[in-house]
């Protein structure tokens, strides 16, 4: 722990550590009760922390693994199935009789746990659509599960701080300032801890993609090293806000650039209208983002293209026929479109969240929902685009802009999550 955050640990006496109650803008409020609540003491909060379970691959045909030393295989009851030298790739697949084939071995089990020597990492590559993916190195253990449909799911169980370091390395830009790395580490840790508590009884806590946080295992380059330092420096610190007498974790959403003002999570329901995610935070710090990020467009798509991209994700919209009109039917108080109405050639119309529409068009091309939309004879034109991403919570390029102006991580986080504070969980 470094100097800037020492005040957090001294400010929190043992008894001051609160129960953790979760409010997620997408999933609603989740008040944890009984043993799930790391309540009352620092010790309780600490004991609630376990390994994060990251769904790193889903429905793949085959998985291959290698590790510098031997790897041990267990079943779900911790019973040893075998130990294998793994300096060359070992292919794992479903056995014809419903079990798992592991190199030359076969076991009649629906899942296995793969454990490399504790100081080693395991390199994993998956076979999908006719080719092997590049191998990434993962800390912790792997659980490989045979699905009912015959595909394999792979879940990586990794210690929280190791996970945070891996996420930070992929969620910030390599050029970011040290305080930006630290702010990202605290946001990533808060996000994953609240997901872990919320999904305690599920098969996994987070996915490895932008749906949760981007996780590609360990990076050995300089950003990877800086990310590990940021995780270490901020170790155990999360963001909380106070409501009804309790300090609570919340969904610390973040996106690349807000484009001028953050969006409110209240669009996902009134119960999500919590102060740190209430939006309306002004930010032109993200002006420094490269390329067409702070401002983008116009983007011209033919009506045909819009239709086929929509149908690829929402086949039921076929009944709309050709696209006739796309209008904004609901906006945030700051004017960002929330809900769009798509009217088809037959006169039928369908309302959808602007964010869903944007992602169907392609999130890289239509960078945010903060646009004006115009439909001409042949085209749908997205103009006056502002920002990149959903715009909820922390603005990552704004975080870098503020770090360049010598703001500390805690100041940056409290700016983008108003009413929040840093709290030490362990
Ligand atoms: Zn911004």
Q: What is the pLDDT of residues 338-355, one digit of tens each?
A: 899 999 998 999 999 898
With b meaning 16 or more CB within 10 Å and e meaning fewer, what string describes 18-48?
bbbbbbbbeeeeeebeeebbbbeebebbeeb
The CB density around residue 324, as the number of other CB atoms within 10 Å, is 16
Ligand 1 centroid from CA 197, angstroms: 29
Asked if residues 361 and 354 have their Cβ atoms less than 8 Å apart, the reply is: no
Q: How far is the CA of 251 from the centre of ligand 1 (A)?
A: 18
Residue by residue, DSSP assigns 186-234 as HHHHHHHHHHHHHTTTSS-SEESSTTS--------SHHHHHHHHHHHHT
Any idea what DSSP says for residue 378? S
> How confident is the model at residue 47, as a pLDDT?
59
What is the pLDDT confidence band of residue 411, given thresholds at 50, 70 and 90?
very high
Q: What confidence category does residue 14 fall into, taking pLDDT thresholds of 50, 70 and 90?
A: very low
Residue 210 has pLDDT above 60, yes or no: yes
**Token output for 268:** 């996902």
**Residue 186 Cα to ligand 1 middle (Å):** 18
pLDDT bin (cut points 50, 70, 90) of residue 396 is very high
Strands 111-116 and 131-132: unpaired
Which phi-psi region, left, alpha or beta, contains residue 347 (left: φ > 0; alpha: ψ -120 to 50)?
left
Res 116: pLDDT? 93
Residue 233 CA to ligand 1 center (angstroms) comes to: 25
Q: How far is the CA of 274 from the centre of ligand 1 (A)?
A: 20
Q: End-to-end CA distance of the chain: give it in Å, rounded.
A: 12
Break the chain into its structural domains and give their ranges: 3-50+176-204+224-255+394-424, 52-158, 295-386
Average pLDDT over residues 100-106: 95
Q: 389 is written with which tokens? A: 């991403």
pLDDT at 359 over 80: yes
pTM: 0.85
Please give the distance, rounded to the nearest whole angstrom, from the Cα atom of residue 168 to the centre of ligand 1. Answer: 19
Beta strand extents in 130-187 (DSSP E only): 131-132, 136-138, 141-146, 152-158
Which residues sit opposite 144 in a β-bridge? 112, 154
DSSP annotation of 141 reads E
For 62-66, 111-115, 190-194, which range has the lowest pLDDT when averaged over its residues?
A: 190-194
How far does residue 360's CA lie from ligand 1's centre (Å)? 24
Using the mean position of ligand 1's atoms as its centre, give its distance from the Cα of residue 261 in Å.
Answer: 6
Cα 26 to ligand 1 centre (Å): 22
Q: Which are the contacts of 145, defined by CB distance < 8 A and separation ≥ 6?
A: 110, 111, 152, 153, 154, 155, 203
Euclidean distance between CA atoms 402 and 404, whole angstroms = 5
Q: How far is the CA of 252 from the centre of ligand 1 (A)?
A: 15
Q: How far is the CA of 352 from the centre of ligand 1 (A)?
A: 25
Residue 394 Cα, ligand 1 centroid: separation in angstroms? 8
Supply the pLDDT for residue 212: 81
CA of 100 to the centre of ligand 1 (A): 48
Q: Is 144 helix (H, G, I), strand (E, B) or coil?
A: strand
Q: How far apart are CA 424 and CA 11, in angstroms?
A: 9
**Ligand 1: centre distance to CA 257 (Å):** 5
Q: Cα of 108 to ligand 1 centre, how many Å?
A: 53
**Percent of the chain having pLDDT more than 90?**
70
For ligand 1, the distance from its centroid to the CA atom of residue 56, given in whole angstroms, is 30
Whether 324 has a pLDDT exceeding 80, the answer reads: yes
pLDDT in tens, 67-98: 998 999 999 999 999 999 989 999 999 998 88
How close is the Cα of 259 to the center of ligand 1, in Å?
5
Neighbour tally for 329: CB within 10 Å: 13
> Ligand 1 (ion): which residues have CB within 5 A?
258, 283, 286, 395, 398
What's the full length of the chain, in residues? 426
* CA 351 to centroid of ligand 1, rounded, Å: 28
């Amino acid at each position: 722990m470094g100097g800037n955050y020492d005040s957090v640990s001294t400010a929190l006496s043992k008894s001051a550590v609160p129960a953790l109650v979760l409010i997620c803008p997408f999933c609603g409020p989740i008040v944890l009760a009984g043993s799930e609540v790391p309540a009352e003491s620092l010790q309780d909060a600490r004991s609630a922390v376990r390994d994060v379970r990251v769904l790193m691959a889903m429905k793949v045909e085959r998985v291959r693994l290698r590790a510098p030393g031997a790897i041990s295989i267990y079943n779900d009851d911790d019973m040893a199935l075998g130990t294998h030298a793994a300096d060359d790739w070992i292919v794992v697949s479903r056995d014809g009789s419903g079990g798992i084939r592991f190199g030359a071995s076969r076991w009649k089990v629906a899942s296995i746990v793969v454990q490399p020597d504790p100081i080693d990492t395991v390199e994993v590559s998956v076979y999908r659509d006719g080719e092997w993916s590049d191998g990434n190195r993962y800390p912790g253990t792997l659980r490989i599960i045979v699905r009912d449909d015959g595909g394999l799911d792979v879940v990586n169980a990794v210690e929280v701080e190791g996970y945070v370091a891996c996420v930070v390395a992929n969620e910030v830009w390599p050029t970011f300032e040290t305080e930006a790395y630290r702010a990202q580490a605290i946001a990533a840790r808060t996000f994953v801890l609240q997901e872990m508590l919320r999904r305690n009884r599920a098969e996994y806590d987070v996915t490895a993609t932008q749906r949760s946080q981007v996780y590609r295992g360990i990076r050995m380059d300089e950003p990877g090293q800086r990310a590990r330092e940021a995780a270490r420096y901020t170790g155990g610190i999360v963001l909380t806000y106070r409501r009804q007498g309790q300090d609570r974790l919340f969904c610390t959403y973040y996106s690349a650039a807000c484009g001028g003002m953050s969006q409110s999570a209240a669009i996902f329901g009134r119960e999500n209208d919590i102060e740190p995610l209430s939006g309306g935070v002004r930010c032109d710090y993200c002006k420094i983002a490269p390329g067409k990020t702070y401002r983008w467009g116009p983007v011209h798509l033919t009506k045909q293209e819009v239709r086929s991209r929509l149908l690829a994700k929402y086949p039921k919209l076929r009944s709309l026929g050709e696209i006739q009109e796309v209008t904004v039917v609901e906006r945030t108080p700051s004017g960002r479109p929330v809900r769009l109405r798509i009217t088809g050639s037959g006169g039928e119309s369908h309302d959808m969240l602007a964010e869903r529409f944007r992602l169907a068009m392609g999130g890289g091309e239509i960078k945010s929902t903060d646009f004006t939309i115009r439909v001409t004879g042949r085209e749908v034109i997205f103009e006056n685009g502002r920002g990149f991403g959903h715009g909820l919570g922390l603005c990552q390029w704004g975080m870098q802009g503020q770090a360049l102006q010598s703001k500390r991580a805690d100041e940056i986080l409290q700016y983008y999550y108003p009413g929040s504070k840093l709290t030490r969980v362990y």
